[in-house]
Structure 1
Amino acid sequence: MKHFPDINEIKLLEKNSQKNGSGIVYEELLGIWKFKYVWGKESDEIKNIPSSILQVLSARLELKSKNKEDQINYEINNSINFGLLNITFTGSAELKGIRPLLAFYFEELKINISSFPVFNKELKKPEDKKMPFFSLVGISTKDNWLCARGRGGGLAIWVKS
């Protein structure tokens, strides 16, 4: 059975990552990460309703190597499914700093029903100061989880599939 950190363990990981970095490296992030839990900005309790909804919608984050020469850039896909409906945001991401931050932006929104595209829209890159990011708090390659805090202050755990 997988061990997920509780909020106190996460706070310790976060404090350490702010001071010394999380030690998370490029290769560890590659793959598909399924959403597991979310905590609010100032909360010690898992937000059960949003967590359950995102689990039912199979919310996931996928990070792929963008090119072999540049080991900090990713293609990022963030998607949900509801039956045959799939909504996917696709864009670019990069690791920044020692903590590190995973800064990203979405370039395209795609909506499909089954494998049939029904909507596709290019998205504008936000200004640097408004760029979304995840502050990477901790990772367990043994239990396959990743913990990060978003720009808005929420904290989440994903499980690698």
Structure 2
Amino acid sequence: MIPDAPWLLERERRCRREGSGLTTADLVGCWRLERIWNKGSLEPASVAAGLLRGLAARLRLSADGAGPEAGDLRLANSVRLGALELRFEGVGRLEGRRPLLVFSFERLLLLLGGRVLIERTLPQPDPLRRPFFALIAAERPHWLAARGRGGGLALWLLEGTTGENEVRVNEN
């Protein structure tokens, strides 16, 4: 089963004390958004998550540079409606013991059937205001959980997993 909010919150408390142990290699892949929880809520935001799933929300993370353990990542965050795709691309890096995946988007693309219609360079954010995901836990090859800068909790499933019935909670 996919972990629920109480399990993830307990895991998050432990992660704050001990760290998650997640590395760049644990993050590489294409993750599809499965569930989100608003800050302070134990119930999934089913309407918002359903909308984002309907728009095929994806987070693609790939190693950048000297291999997956180097810490640098390329990110692509996208939504799709039919053949129309809106994609933000940028770079990220793991920082700290927890760790945080700190990132910034460098460009915005609007594609139709894989063909670029619009491409814009994005300004760099203030270093103190960069977006991040506080990584909580991952169970390869199934799911990844993190809390965003705004306080919401997100759970992604790795593309290629067959679904909810085969995803199990890791009891570590």
TM-score by length of 1: 0.95
- Is 1:72 equivalent to 2:71 in the alignment? yes
Deviation at residue 116 of structure 1 after TM alignment: 2.2
Deviations 1:109-138 (A, max 9, x none): 000111222111000110111100000011
- Is 1:53 equivalent to 2:51 in the alignment? yes
Report the counterpart of residue 9 of structure 1 in structure 2: 7
What is the alpha-carbon distance in structure 2 between the residues aligned to residue 25 and residue 75 of structure 1? Answer: 14
Q: Which runs of 5+ in 1 are unaligned?
A: none
- For 1:77-156, what aligned pairs fall within 5 Å after superposition? 77-141=76-140, 144-156=142-154
One-letter identity of the residue aligned with 1:41: K
One-letter identity of the residue aligned with 1:147: A
Q: How many residues get paired?
A: 158
One-letter identity of the residue aligned with 1:44: L
- Cα RMSD after superposing both structures: 1.0
What is the alpha-carbon distance in structure 1 between the residues aligned to residue 35 and residue 22 of structure 2? Answer: 20
SS at match of 2:52: helix
What is the alpha-carbon distance in structure 2 between the residues aligned to residue 38 and residue 66 of structure 1? Answer: 27
Amino-acid identity (%): 34
Larger displacement relative to structure 2 (9-18 or 110-119): 110-119
Deviation at residue 7 of structure 1 after TM alignment: 1.0
What is the alpha-carbon distance in structure 2 between the residues aligned to residue 141 and residue 115 of structure 1? Answer: 29
Deviations 1:40-92 (A, max 9, x none): 01111100110000101110001111112671000100001001100100000
What is the alpha-carbon distance in structure 2 between the residues aligned to residue 52 and residue 148 of structure 1? Answer: 18
- Is 1:19 equivalent to 2:3 in the alignment? no
What is the alpha-carbon distance in structure 2 between the residues aligned to residue 115 and residue 48 of structure 1? Answer: 29
What is the alpha-carbon distance in structure 2 between the residues aligned to residue 130 and residue 35 of structure 1? Answer: 24
Deviation at residue 154 of structure 1 after TM alignment: 0.4
Aligned structure 1 segments of 4 or more residues deviating by more than 4 angstroms: none
- For 1:24-43, what aligned pairs fall within 5 Å after superposition? 24-43=22-41
